[in-house]
Structure 1
């Protein structure tokens, strides 16, 4: 990996769920921004949005926050919305960004009309509340904060700084 690229690894339940190369946009030591094409094979249709080949994700990670926010655009540049992953704070080492997915997610459509909390059932089933109650509490607080931001001011200001 060159200084202008990194590998992103999403870890879930101790296993790497997906890894992919991304272009490093910026890193101020706390807030890291990368850009990558849709990395999974084929199309993923959630019903409220489709992720597909050609889509571009501008991904924002923080070393001190329990979430990542991904701006999603189609191949022609049209904003689809923001997909937010609740994660442990990002760990960045030697050209690799690693984030541990804590199952909770939030989606906000480009026009702000749709804000959805996702995968709360998976979070419950994960047993994190029993294994690591402090992390579970941080995860729930992060989801609440993301939802509040989505309903009140959106993500543009958060992602510009």
Structure 2
């Protein structure tokens, strides 16, 4: 994938989330915006069945408006139910997105953050997975960027700014 290509608004691309060198999930999305640094796509929940995380349930018909940056170590996904009601924001800590004419690829670094629609719940997620991944020994600079990005996401969430990106 060629990094730096600007996506055409209205075009279809594929989003690929890679974890530990393997494709975790790949799904189609429609391009909403791309200015060469920040790309936004819209996609339906990529699985045929619901997934209950305890704090939110993603289900068929949910719409994700996903924000990716070529220069930030995270992605922010607004989640709406099929009826348009905002459920909240799910954020992945990733390496900067690689964006090319066919789509968006990001490497998941295990850390995540959830903010409920009302802003009352902000959860740091998967810190245990991050610790077990070995990245802190394998790539300490990336691990430090990942932790810094999770802190940034939490600050944005607590300031009520995730929905304004």
Fold shared by both chains (TM-score > 0.5): yes
Is 1:140 the counterpart of 2:153 in the alignment?
A: no
Alignment of 1:40-51 (within 5 A): 40-51=47-58
Is 1:61 the counterpart of 2:68 in the alignment?
A: yes
State which of 81, 90, 97 in structure 1 corresponds to 2:97: 90
State which of 120, 127, 139 in structure 2 corresponds to 1:120: 127
TM-score normalised by the chain length of structure 1:
0.95
Q: Which residue of 1 aligns with 2:42?
A: 35
Q: Per the alignment, in what secondary structure is the counterpart of residue 49 of structure 2? A: coil
Q: Could you tell me whether the CA contact under 8 Å between 2:78 and 2:163 is conserved in 1?
A: no
- What residue ranges of structure 1 are gaps of 5+ in the alignment? none
**1:106-146, Cα deviation, whole Å (9 max, x unpaired):** 00000000000000000000000000000000000000000
Q: Could you tell me whether the CA contact under 8 Å between 1:34 and 1:60 is conserved in 2?
A: yes
Two-structure CA RMSD over aligned residues (Å): 1.1
Q: C-alpha displacement at 1:156, in angstroms?
A: 2.4
**1:15-69, Cα deviation, whole Å (9 max, x unpaired):** 0000000000010000000000000230110111000000000000000000000
CA distance in 2, matches of 1:55, 1:21: 14
How many residues were matched structurally?
Answer: 157
CA distance in 2, matches of 1:31, 1:83: 17
Q: Could you tell me whether the CA contact under 8 Å between 2:119 and 2:160 is conserved in 1?
A: no
CA distance in 1, matches of 2:126, 2:155: 17
Q: Could you tell me whether the CA contact under 8 Å between 1:72 and 1:82 is conserved in 2?
A: yes
Q: Which runs of 4+ in 1 moved over 6 A?
A: none
* Highest RCO, 1 vs 2 (Cα 8 Å, sep ≥ 6): 2
Q: Could you tell me whether the CA contact under 8 Å between 1:57 and 1:72 is conserved in 2?
A: yes
**1:58-112, Cα deviation, whole Å (9 max, x unpaired):** 0000000000000000000000000000000000122220000000000000000
